[in-house]
Amino acid sequence: QVCAQLCRRPCYCPWVPARCPRGSPLVLDGCGCCKICARRLGEPCDFLHVCDQSQGLVCDYSSASAGTGATCNFEEDEEGCEVNGRVYRDGEVFQPSCKIRCQCLDGGFNCIPLCQEDVRLPTPDCPYPRRVEIPGKCCPEWICEAQDQHLLRDARAASPLLPYPCQEWSTEWSACSATCGVGFATRVSNQNRYCRLETQRRLCLLGPCPALP
């Protein structure tokens, strides 16, 4: 009876296909007639506007009795997390980039860096180490450079308070300590008044934390 009331034959679909937001594929509507954008986690749904089954989502009518309408939810109340428009199941491991690997856990996600954040101090055989990006490689690598005379002059001009020339260098900023809300990132650097190695911190915010039920 529902199909007879909502589905018309033959199908009447717009000539131009719908433009879907990132992470929402084109699927057939509930009548199997026209292609529409699949609804994502937490979005409203009904018989016609179906959820993204490729992400394990179904139209959950449990909240419809409260007057809020049906929404897309994981089948059998599975928890998941959404990152950059894509939904991952609980326990699933994914890589947003080659430098970081994450795992979806209990509705949130934890990430670990894949590139070593090691610190290389100046040595006699490598007095001026510098970390650079290598084409074709994901993680930066340490290289040793010879310091030219013009760099010495530039360092003196830039740091008149120092009794000796200072070659500035620092490690990359670490990953944020929090996956949501305010956290901090750290690095080792000599970019200070006395050109001394020190651990520096700065605040970081990947995004707001989801509201607790």
- Give pLDDT, residue 97: 84
Q: Kindly give, in sequence order, each residue whose CB lies less than 8 Å from that of residue 119, ignoring residues fewer than 6 positions away.
A: 171, 188, 197
Q: What is the pLDDT of residues 124-150, one digit of tens each?
A: 878 888 888 888 888 888 888 765 434
Q: How many C-beta neighbours within 10 Å does residue 195 have?
A: 17
- Give pLDDT, residue 76: 63
Query: How deeply is 72 buried, as exposed, middle or buried, from its count of CB atoms within 10 A (0-12, 13-18, 19+)?
Result: buried
DSSP line for 123-165: BTTBSSEEEEPPTT-SS-EEEE-PPPHHHHHHHHHH-TTSSS-
What's the CATH number for 1-76?
4.10.40
- Give pLDDT, residue 149: 37
Query: How deeply is 75 buried, as exposed, middle or buried, from its count of CB atoms within 10 A (0-12, 13-18, 19+)?
Result: exposed
Is residue 129 within 8 A of residue 144, CB to CB? The reply is yes
CATH top-level class of 169-208: mainly beta
One fold for 1-76 and 169-208? no
One pLDDT digit (tens) per residue for the chain, 213 residues: 444 557 877 888 888 878 898 888 999 998 888 999 999 988 899 888 999 988 888 888 876 666 678 888 877 655 677 777 777 887 888 888 888 888 887 777 888 888 887 778 888 878 888 888 888 888 888 888 765 434 544 554 554 555 555 777 888 888 888 888 888 888 888 877 777 777 888 888 888 887 766
> Where are the domains positioned within the chain?
1-76, 81-113, 119-147, 169-208
Query: In whole angstroms, what is the distance from residue 97 CA to residue 8 CA?
Result: 45
Q: How many CA atoms lie within 13 A of 46 on its CB side?
A: 7
Q: State the chain's mean pLDDT as an integer.
A: 78
Is residue 142 within 8 A of residue 125, CB to CB? The reply is no
* Alpha-carbon dihedral sign for residues 19, 22, 26, 31: negative
Is residue 11 within 8 A of residue 31, CB to CB? The reply is yes
- Give pLDDT, residue 152: 47
- Give pLDDT, residue 147: 57
SS3 109: strand
4-15 b/e (C-beta count within 10 Å ≥ 16 → b): eeeeeeeeeeee
Q: Kindly give, in sequence order, each residue whose CB lies less than 8 Å from that of residue 98, ignoring residues fewer than 6 positions away.
A: 114, 138, 139
Q: How many CA atoms lie within 13 A of 152 on its CB side?
A: 6
- Give pLDDT, residue 50: 92
